[in-house]
Amino acid sequence: MKKTLLLTSALVSGLTLASVANAEISGSMKFGYGAQDGPSDSASTAGAQGFMRETQIDMSTSGELDNGMSFKAGASFEAEGLNTANSDIDMNEGTFIEFGMGDTTIHFGLDKFTNLDDSATPTTGSALQTVANIVNASYTRNPSSPYGSFGVGLAQKTPFGDISLLYVPQQGDQGTEAAGVDDHTMTDVDGNSAYEIKYKGNFGIDGLTVVAGVNERTMATDSDNVPRDGAGISYGASYNFGQFAVGASYMEDENQNGTTTENTEYGITFAASDKVSFGAAILKHESTAATVDEDTKLLTVGYNLGPIALEINYADVENQALNSNRDVSGISVNTSVKF
């Protein structure tokens, strides 16, 4: 006989949380038009065109606890049109709760803690990797950061920047139920642990931004049934001269499948006014599993209308997805509306 603990109405009433005056719900909607031109022998890329969208709602609340500590909690829901038979909801979106005391914060959750899916390179709006997605480039700035799995994080503010540590007991554990499993029932992931250390700050120098960090992921089994560890490193810096900003970032990932990837980006932006910015960037993607490198050039324009942002992006990639003689170019016009 299955035993279930039920809360009586009186107990539920006693556990009811006090309302929080500064609770908030924020969100964003993104949509745009993109088109790309590819080689005639590539049916998957040649002449591709169509609309893109992203719909996301972020909910959060924050305040003070009775013991004097601060807290913040929230969750996100995102629908991107996955075209699957069962769900269009992105199950990787985060949920979290964190507690603060002075300059120290402890965080519980997934997908919402500071991590190495970050870059010091200046942009006019979207991340350079997002712009490169116009042409399906393989470039990535993320060295397999484990932040998308449930874990605990510790962040410390210092006069020279923020230092953080993230620990994940089971890689791939997002707290989602398997098909046919009841709600509130954990799924046995049997993943392996991972940790990540990150620094982001300016070392006390105005105009400077530095991002650096490492992670290690333990004992996964590759396609040859060989257990391997993974490790990633990422670092970069930029400097803002006022209207101009320049920077570069580097990422190396020793993957648990036995391959190593390297990604490098260089970027420059010019703020023509407080509303309009221009940018240019070069991205390089390398892999020990390929004989050629992927090179991408980007041109971007950002226009800020307050709650609405407009982006115009151009991307040109050589050896797309590490395929020799596959050159693709593309353009996108994106809008982002926040509420």
pLDDT tens string 209-231: 999 999 999 876 655 666 678 99
pLDDT, average across residues 89-105: 87
Residue type at 17? L
Identify whether 1 is part of a domain. no
Identify whether 163 is part of a domain. yes
Top pLDDT among 38 and 190 is at 38
- Lowest model confidence (mean pLDDT) among 21-30, 209-218, 234-243: 21-30
Top pLDDT among 327 and 14 is at 327
Residues 125-172: pLDDT tens digits? 889 999 999 888 999 999 999 999 999 999 999 999 999 999 999 888
| pLDDT band, residue 256 (cuts 50/70/90) | confident
Provide Rg for the chain, Cα atoms: 22
**What average pLDDT is seen over the chain?**
84
pLDDT > 70: what percent of the chain? 80
CATH of the domain at 45: 2.40.160.10
> Whole-model pTM?
0.85
Q: Does the pLDDT at position 87 exceed 80? A: no
Identify whether 246 is part of a domain. yes
Are 143 and 234 within 8 A, CB to CB? yes
Cα separation, 230 vs 260, in Å, equals: 10
Assign residue 31 a region (left: φ > 0; alpha: ψ between -120 and 50; beta: otherwise).
beta
pLDDT, average across residues 275-282: 96
Are 194 and 219 within 8 A, CB to CB? no
Q: Does the pLDDT at position 9 exceed 90? A: no
pLDDT at 54: 79
| pLDDT band, residue 11 (cuts 50/70/90) | very low
Identify whether 311 is part of a domain. yes
Cα separation, 151 vs 108, in Å, equals: 6
Phi, psi (5° rounding) for residue 58?
-110, 130
pLDDT > 90: what percent of the chain? 58
Quick check: helix, strand or coil at residue 148?
helix
Top pLDDT among 56 and 12 is at 56
pLDDT at 85: 47
pLDDT at 240: 96
Q: Which runs of E-coded beta strand occur in the chain?
A: 24-37, 49-64, 70-79, 95-101, 104-110, 151-158, 161-168, 194-201, 208-221, 227-240, 244-254, 260-271, 276-287, 294-304, 308-318, 328-338
The DSSP call for residue 91 is T
Domain range spanning residue 298?
A: 25-338
| pLDDT band, residue 258 (cuts 50/70/90) | confident
Identify whether 2 is part of a domain. no
Q: Does the pLDDT at position 14 exceed 60? A: no
| pLDDT band, residue 247 (cuts 50/70/90) | very high
pLDDT, average across residues 70-83: 80
- Listed in sequence order, the residues at least 6 apart from 193 whose beta carbon sits closer than 8 Å to its beta carbon are 167, 168, 169, 170, 171, 217, 218
Reference 199, options 230, 232, 153, 234; nearest CA is 234
- Lowest model confidence (mean pLDDT) among 107-111, 142-146, 169-173, 283-287: 169-173
Half-sphere exposure of 72 (CA within 13 A, CB side): 11
Structure tokens at 260: 């190593």
Identify whether 95 is part of a domain. yes
Identify whether 10 is part of a domain. no
Place of tokens 């390297």: 262
Are 188 and 170 within 8 A, CB to CB? no
Phi, psi (5° rounding) for residue 189?
-90, -35
Q: How many domains does the chain have?
A: 1
Cα separation, 73 vs 158, in Å, equals: 23
Are 196 and 145 within 8 A, CB to CB? yes
Identify whether 14 is part of a domain. no
